[in-house]
Amino acid sequence: MRLRFLTPFAVLTVVVFATGAAPAAERGPNFVVIFIDDMGYGDIGPFGSTINHTPHLDRMADEGMKLTSFYVAAPVCTPSRAALMTGCYPRRVGLATGSFHAVLFPGDRHGLHPDEITVAEVLKKAGYATGCFGKWHLGDQPKFLPTRQGFDTYFGIPYSNDMWKGHTGWHFTPLPVVRDSLIVGEVKTMEDQAELCRRFTAAAVTFIKENKDRPFFVYLPHAFVHHPRAARKEFLDRAKNPDQVTGAQIEEVDWSVGQVLHTLRELKLEEQTFVLFTSDNGGSRGCVNRPLRGGKGSAFEGGLREPTVAWWPGHIPPRSTCDELATTMDLLPTFAAMAGGQMPTDRIIDGRDVSALLLGDADAKTPHETFFYYQGKNLRAVRSGPWKLFASGALYNLDQDIGESQNVAARNADVVARLKGYLAAARDDLGDGKNPGKNCRPVGVEANPRVLLPRPGVAGDAAYAPMTPADRRGK
């Protein structure tokens, strides 16, 4: 028989020991979310790669579940991460873009609003230790940092690893390494870039060991495989991918997964821990998105459908596959249900509890009637069941045509009409382009933003001035 977590109602029937400590069966599972940056749908073994060696992910899929229709809510970094943290479409929480760019820049006045309720906050209130290790990219001002958004501790970089002095298109300020709210280092060289995966993994493993006797939530958003790509020599030497550095980074990400899973097994926590592996958007240059069309930044499937593996021995059926639609927005309500936490009741949450899908219930179906594809603030498409309709009018049956190569709108007028109705509802609810939606909430704003590290060679307050479009090279 497959083991299941206890529901909050079942927990009420459990007898608590005289010491006041709850028995192990009462607590919810631990949660680990490994969030890769810019990795393609076809870059790992469980999703068909034959050029990247990913034995740990292969084993994870063999012991767990592949989710083949798992989506992020945006095809670029900041909005994708906002959706995971809040369980909401990025437009709902004001982070469909940065203040002047597709993503947040150093010193951006915008960030995740402190009044938003994150998955970390939900779990922290349920008694979990919470740690974030890696790339944040939801605001670098003090009130936007992870430790102000529900995480007990943080170690990582506050935005993308390409936002540094080596960028050829922008004059970026220095890239800091932050521990909690203090700057403890800087990414200065390509050798520093190559160490990011190892450092974030080590911090996550240490956190797991330190919190092994209580429920914990680990959010491990890697900077790999975002450009600029660098990798440690041991991975470069054995990579077989024609794009050697990209292959080495993917294989080091697999190593990171192995480190986390080995630690859980070593501590005998594997049957108490739910682990999810996925990517923040489609693959960029050098990655493989096949058989999907498009990649990072695109509203085609390659921009938002991600290679996803779920693992929880004794609970998730081994060697299983789920083709039902699920999203990163579902993590907040799903984790809340598993942990016995409290969902926000004063606001719209777009995610749904998909625990039945993850636990392999035979009759489980997606709770989503629709999924909307946004590029920045622009509504591009909607999926309902197998059908995907673009606002431009093209219709695809994703069950029959995952590569979106055959527009079948002309012979499915009834489907087009129905999905157009969904698009109209999304425009009213979430907005489209410059037109606001009626149910959107404000973005976080810092009145006097400053970059975290000063601009080299600049004196006084000007050294800490936030980046603007004037920082583009050639301006």
Dump pLDDT digits (tens) for 136-167: 999 999 999 999 999 999 999 999 999 999 99
Q: DSSP strand E in 72-181: where?
A: 110-111, 129-135, 153-157, 175-179
Crossing angle for the helix pair 196-210 and 244-266, nearest 10 degrees? 10
Say if domain 27-358 classifies as CATH 3.30.1330.10.
no
435 strand-pairing partners: 432
382 strand-pairing partners: 372, 389
Give me the pLDDT at residue 12, please: 33
| CATH 3.40.720.10 boundaries in the chain | 27-358
Q: Which of 137, 222, 226, 368 is catalytic?
A: 137
Band (pLDDT 50/70/90 cuts) for residue 461 is: very high
**Are the beta carbons of 274 and 29 closer than 8 angstroms?**
yes
* Residue 322 pLDDT > 80: yes
Q: What angle do CA 219, 289, 278 make, to 5 degrees?
A: 15
Burial class (CB in 10 A: 0-12, 13-18, 19+), 227: middle
Name the nearest CA neighbour of 441 among 92, 204, 181. 92
* Residue 5 pLDDT > 80: no
Give me the pLDDT at residue 16, please: 32
pLDDT in tens, 394-443: 999 999 999 999 999 999 999 999 999 999 999 999 999 999 999 999 99
Band (pLDDT 50/70/90 cuts) for residue 301 is: very high
CA-based torsion, 175, 203, 247, 317: positive or negative: negative
What DSSP string describes 222-268? --TTSSSP---HHHHHH--SSSHHHHHHHHHHHHHHHHHHHHHHHTT
Token reading at 67: 């989710």
Give me the pLDDT at residue 27, please: 81
Catalytic residue list contains 167: no
The Cβ of residue 12 has, within 10 Å, a number of other Cβ atoms equal to 9
What is the rounded average pLDDT of the residues 319-348?
97
Name the nearest CA neighbour of 153 among 225, 82, 206. 206
Give me the pLDDT at residue 475, please: 66
Beta pairing class for 387-390 and 153-157: unpaired
Token reading at 365: 């179906």
* Residue 2 pLDDT > 80: no
Catalytic residue list contains 137: yes
What is the rounded average pLDDT of the residues 290-314?
98
What is the rounded average pLDDT of the residues 359-382?
96
The mean pLDDT of the chain is 93
CA-based torsion, 353, 386, 360, 282: positive or negative: negative
What is the rounded average pLDDT of the residues 460-471?
95
End-to-end CA distance of the chain: 65
Q: Encode burial over 161-176: b for 16+ CB neighbours within 10 A, e otherwise.
A: bbbbeeeeebebbbbb
Q: Which of 56, 77, 113, 322 is catalytic?
A: 77
Name the nearest CA neighbour of 35 among 191, 236, 220. 220
